[in-house]
Structure 1
Amino acid sequence: MKPTNKCQKTIVIKVGTSSICDETSHFPLLSNLSGLVETVLKLKSLHHRVVVVTSAAVGTGLRRLNIAEKPAGLAARQAVAAVGQGRLMALYDDLFGQFNQPVAQILLTKNDLSDRSQYLNAVSCLEELLSMDVVPIVNENDTISTQGIRFGDNDTLAAVTAGMIKADYLFLMTDVDCLYTDNPRTNPDAQPVLLCDDVASLKDKVSVASGGSALGTGGMTTKLIAADLATAAGVATIITHGSKPTNIIKVIDDDISDKPLHTKFAAKNNPMLDRKWWILHGLHTAGTIYIDTGAAKAVVTQGLRSSLFAAGIVDVQGTFNAHQAVQICLRQPTTGDVVIGKGLANYSSSEISRIKRCNSSEISAILGYVNADCVVHRDNLVRVVQEQQL
């Protein structure tokens, strides 16, 4: 639950590797980190609740092991991260400890949140830490994550964390002041984007071709994805410079009119219900169900009134069990598949292959049993497109 005091905000601050470690020497950027710690403490003195999502376990591990570049192999990267994570937390603990501020380490994988009870436990743990006046330090558990269960980058992890605790703000600290229409380092005509009400509308207006740093995993593209996730959960998202953490205080202060340069993604007025946000962003996608145009229109236009039935399914890809999350797509051979939504399947992939194109009344005769009359119930289905996009 959000705090009842209207002046109190819940704030998630994501700090990227480039803001924590020097890209070449891998030494910690103590001025940035000290500024971050002082900013968090100032926010807390103003009665705000703060969570830090951090990167740089690999970068810190490289420094400790005296390795020049991030290893290519998964096992080697995980080993370096295992070394670096302890050093990184020790660094945070030392800095916050100078002010007697307790911190807590939270390591997550996407798989941890795929089970509803584990998701709720993670939420409860974060809420309890905040109520105990502790600053949670969240990172992906790189030592056990595999490609299939990774968040992929800590921008996404930060957005998921912000949605879990129903934060008011998500700050994505990066190496530029804000989002630009093009790379300002190479294009002097690049213009800042100060406010965005619809992330999807930016795709044709801005260039996000540049990737992350040599140590990091993200770039501006991942920040747009994170903004899309967070704003869907009702969280205002800010992109601002990681070397200027004091900007956070100025951005959230309604009494300051001359705010520092930043990009703000406005929170959606009708955020997703917690359960559906969890289905869409918390669960690993185990497979894909392809549906026909009629089923797609029913799901999109009827919204909460329409479940997905076997009669509208034309194909299934991947191997999954009942109650796993699946992507629902409309196959368009000429223009590319359209992702309609995501939901929890009542049947396994092999069962769906047998009952596709069949009426609900035929399921019992085909399978010998009936789990449900629909393949995805409307309460477990989240649509991600509007009618005009079909």
Structure 2
Amino acid sequence: MAGARQAVGEARRIVVKVGSSSLTTASGGLDADRVDALVDVLAKVRNQEIARSASAEGGGGRREGGGEREIVLVSSGAIAAGLAPLGLRRRPEDLARQQAAASVGQGLLVARYTASFARYGVRVGQVLLTSDDMSRRSHHRNASRTLDKLLAMGAFPIVNENDTVATDEIRFGDNDRLAALVAHLVRADLLVLLSDVDGVYDGDPARPGTSRIGEVRDPSDLAHVEIGSTGKAGVGTGGMVTKVEAARIAAAAGVPVVLTSTIHAADALTGQDTGTYFHPTGKRSADRLLWLQHASAPQGALTLDDGAVQAVVDRRKSLLPAGIAAVEGDFSAGDPVELRDGTGHAVARGLVNFDAKEIPRLIGRSTRELARELGPAYEREVVHRDDLVVLHP
């Protein structure tokens, strides 16, 4: 455990996620003192010198030598910050009023961060994302380049879901999952999830006799633990369930995670024994495929015959028209779709190359036959293997 915590203290590029309850009052509105306290920690940690080689950590030469730590903040709080100014007593359930609250609150949130970081001479850059942005290749590259450039220019990126325009179909649903995906997007050395609970417990933390789980080496370590689903303040969307799931996503992508309370942020970022540490359980994969698996909302489905299921799942091949048995949904080329077997079980997800209305005349036919009849544009895969991720049960 000591070695793991030492690695945390030496992490150079870090993604930190903070929840609404840590920044706002229960009735809505930003708590300036809480924001300033968090910024104090982040600014001081950011200025710490890290003297180590990136190659020693498998960085592939992306960063060399020492230098300041780099932090990307994924911050909730836009909707909560907009409640009081709009006269709303609690977070609305309908999407339209959530978007209105986010429109008011996002400006207040970033203004507060801007003023707070200005005390340290640090400029803030705002990055608003939707899952639709991230599952599309060109948008994904743009997001990656923007965040890298902000860090290179010394700005402090603050990321949030674009609640003002996101629809139910393209929402992440919670910023915990967004933080896990951003950690992979920016090739972070560490993800820190901050909330109002100081880690994962083996029972209800409010009950006597429960204890904090110091580290998780594998998802099976939590198989016996009942994870709570709601937070204390009632102004956010997630609870411990979403945080643990985010930690699993990041760990499976090779990013270690510390989950703890906001008041212990300094200890978490300097490698002290606080919160729950999630060991990496997998290796880094193609960034966009992680987004496709965990952030995209399928706009339709393609049913595959047995041969196509085997080709896609076992041999990791592209999906060709000949292997499609049925289509459903109203999607456009470039949209994410679900690939199902004959029983209706989802086996993969991918970005489709044709509109839904085009596919019925492609079903069961070879690309060569389609090219002769419809033209060379049809001599291609329905879903290319580079745009496809297999879903494990």
Asked whether the two chains share a fold, i.e. TM above 0.5, the reply is yes
Shift of 1:19: 0.7
1:239 match: 259
Partner residue in 1 for 2:23:
20
Residue 378, structure 1, aligned to residue 378, structure 2: no
Q: Is 1:103 equivalent to 2:106 in the alignment? A: no
Q: Is contact 1:13–1:170 with CA below 8 Å preserved after alignment?
A: yes
Match of 2:14 among 5, 11, 16: 11
For residues 14-60 of structure 1, the C-alpha deviation after alignment (integer angstroms, 9 at most, x for no partner) is 1101111121x335444543332122112211111011111111221
Query: Equivalent residues in 2 for 1:36-55 (5 A)?
Result: 36-46=38-48, 47-55=68-76
For 2:307 and 2:248, the matched residues in 1 are separated by 28
**Alignment counterpart, residue 225 of structure 2, candidates 184, 188, 206:** 206
Tell whether the 8 Å contact from 1:166 to 1:234 is kept in structure 2 after alignment: no
Question: In the alignment, which residue of structure 2 is the partner of 1:164?
Answer: 185
TM-score normalised according to structure 1 size? 0.83
Aligned CA RMSD, in angstroms, stands at: 2.7
Residues 237 and 264, structure 1, Cα contact 8 Å, conserved in 2? yes
Q: How many residues align?
A: 365
Could you say which residue in structure 2 is the equivalent of 1:195? 215
Structure 2 residue corresponding to 1:230, chosen from 250, 254, 273: 250
CA offset at residue 114 of structure 1? 4.1
2:346 corresponding residue in structure 1: 339
Aligned partner of 2:241 in structure 1 is 221
- What per-residue deviation string (whole Å, max 9, x for no partner) do you get for residues 306-340 of structure 1? 222334333322111233221223354xxxx5432
SS at match of 2:378: coil
Name the counterpart of 1:260.
Answer: 273
SS of the aligned residue for 2:299 comes to: strand
The answer on whether the counterparts of 1:351 and 1:367 sit within 8 Å (CA) in structure 2 is no
Alpha-carbon displacement from aligned partner over 1:166-202 (angstroms, at most 9, x marks no partner): 11111111121112343323x5454533333444x46
SS across alignment from 1:180: coil
Q: Secondary structure at the match of 1:26?
A: coil
Give the secondary structure class of the aligned counterpart of 1:314. strand
Assess, with a 3 A threshold, how the Cα gap between structure 1 residues 76 and 129 changes in structure 2: closer, same or farther.
same
Does the 8 A contact of 2:13 with 2:190 survive in 1? yes
Tell me the equivalent position of 1:313.
324
Contact 1:317 1:349 in 2 (8 A): yes
Distance 2:380 2:111 in 1: 54
Q: Is the 8 A contact 1:166 1:233 kept in 2?
A: no
Aligned to 1:329: 340
SS, match of residue 375 in structure 1: coil
Mean CA deviation greater in 135-144 or 188-197: 188-197
1:119 corresponds to which letter in structure 2? H
Aligned-partner Cα distance in 2 for 1:223–1:292: 37
Residues 78 and 204 (structure 1), Cα distance of their counterparts in 2 relative to 1, 3 Å cut: same
| 1:104-145 per-position Cα deviation (integer Å, ceiling 9, x unaligned) | 222222233344222222221111111121111111222212
Query: Do the aligned residues in 2 keep the contact of 1:32 with 1:242 (CA within 8 Å)?
Result: no
Q: Work out whether 1:356 is the aligned partner of 2:363.
A: yes
Please state whether the residue corresponding to 1:12 is helix, strand or coil. Answer: strand
Measure, in 2, the Cα distance between the counterparts of 1:370 and 1:120: 25
Q: In structure 2, what residue type is equivalent to 1:141? A: N
Judging changes above 3 Å, is the alpha-carbon distance between structure 1 residues 340 and 194 closer, same or farther for their aligned structure 2 residues? farther
Tell me the distance in 2 between the aligned counterparts of 1:339 and 1:172: 30
SS in structure 2 opposite 1:244? Answer: helix
**Are 1:178 and 1:241, in contact at CA under 8 Å, matched by a contact in 2?**
yes
More deviation in 236-245 or 45-54?
A: 236-245
Per-residue deviation, residues 89-108 of structure 1 (Å, max 9, x unmatched): 22212221222222122222
SS of the aligned residue for 2:229 comes to: coil
> 2:171 matched to 1:150?
yes
**Corresponding letter in the other structure for 2:72:** V
Aligned partners of 2:221, 2:299: CA distance in 1, in Å? 29
- Paired residue type of 2:255: V
Assess, with a 3 A threshold, how the Cα gap between structure 1 residues 351 and 205 changes in structure 2: closer, same or farther: farther
Q: Closer, same or farther in 2 for the Cα pair 1:324/1:71, shift >3 Å?
A: closer
What percentage of residue pairs aligned between the two structures are identical? 37
- For residue 79 of structure 2, what is the aligned residue in structure 1? 58
User: Could you tell me which residue of structure 2 aligns to residue 286 of structure 1?
Assistant: 299
Q: Is the 8 A contact 1:13 1:53 kept in 2?
A: yes
Q: Which residue matches 1:256?
A: none
CA distance in 1 between counterparts of 2:163 and 2:354 reads: 32
- For 1:34 and 1:347, locate their aligned partners in 2 and report how far apart those are by CA, in whole Å: 50
